[in-house]
Amino acid sequence: MNARSAAASAWAKHERAIVGCAKCPRLRKHCLEIARVKRKSYAGDTYWGKPIVGFGDTRARLVLVGLAPAAHGANRTGRVFTGDRSGDWLYRALHKAGFANQPTSTHARDGLALTDAFVTATVKCAPPDNKPTPAEIARCLPYLDWEIARLDRARVYLALGKIGWDAAWDVLKRAGLASGARPAFGHNQAVELASGKYLLGSYHPSQQNTFTGRLTEPMFDAVFEKARTLF
Ligand code: SF4
């Protein structure tokens, strides 16, 4: 087996472990219940209802770390940040910045492909009210540890929201890329890590932020422009 197929096989094994994971009974129950009841507007859809794996280019220089799948977004479509408003914002921005081949992400077989960007989440199961408990985050972080270790071409880790920032910092510290006290989260703020890599923060493109104007489209675009300057 050559290096590329060995890497693909390791990723496939990692993804199977995530999809079959049942370490958080509260979250698994919630995802399945959402998938059973469904939102009225998606009544005809078959919900995924399982943990969500990362998506994108495993040789990426830009690695995005979000919070968790949305109940009727990724938990429905089976692909991270897909089928909800946050994903609309994210993939539109990634497309504008040249990381995505299309600006929309509606379902898992819609042809979306990322180049030089990989999207993952701190917690792989949709939590009630988008709020995983500290214990659930801790249980899920070993998956992110594995991903950060494998995504060794990364130059910029883009944390979407404070939970993603905190998780990314802790994981980067365990990976030997960060040291000292965790720096404060700030929108479009970058912290230099070891080996010339950076942790960059952005407000999460949740409706809570985009509807209120806390995060505007130009503000979000500026984050991706900055990421490119840090490569
Ligand atoms: S949140 Fe993570 S650790 Fe918990 S059940 Fe889902 S995949 Fe497993």
Q: Report the chain (231 residues): mean pLDDT per 10 consecutive residues.
A: 90 98 98 98 98 98 98 98 98 98 98 98 97 97 98 98 97 97 98 97 97 98 98 97
Residues sharing a CB contact under 8 Å with residue 223, sequence separation 6 or more, in sequence order: 93, 158, 187, 188, 200, 202
Q: Is 12 helix (H, G, I), strand (E, B) or coil?
A: helix
Tell me how far the alpha carbon of residue 27 lies from the centroid of ligand 1, in angstroms: 7
pTM: 0.97
Closest to 71 measured CA to CA, from 125, 6, 9: 125
The predicted structure's pLDDT at residue 219 = 98
- CATH number of the domain where residue 57 is located: 3.40.470.10
The closest-lying atom of ligand 1 relative to the alpha carbon of residue 28 is 5
* Domain carrying residue 40: 3-230
Q: How many domains does the chain have?
A: 1
Report d(CA 144, CA 171) in Å as an integer. Answer: 7
Report d(CA 213, CA 72) in Å as an integer. Answer: 23
| 27 C-beta closer than 6 A to ligand 1 | yes
Tell me how far the alpha carbon of residue 92 lies from the centroid of ligand 1, in angstroms: 28
Give the residue whose CA is nearest to atom 2 of ligand 1.
Answer: 140
The predicted structure's pLDDT at residue 24 = 98
Closest to 50 measured CA to CA, from 69, 66, 63: 69
Tell me how far the alpha carbon of residue 101 lies from the centroid of ligand 1, in angstroms: 30
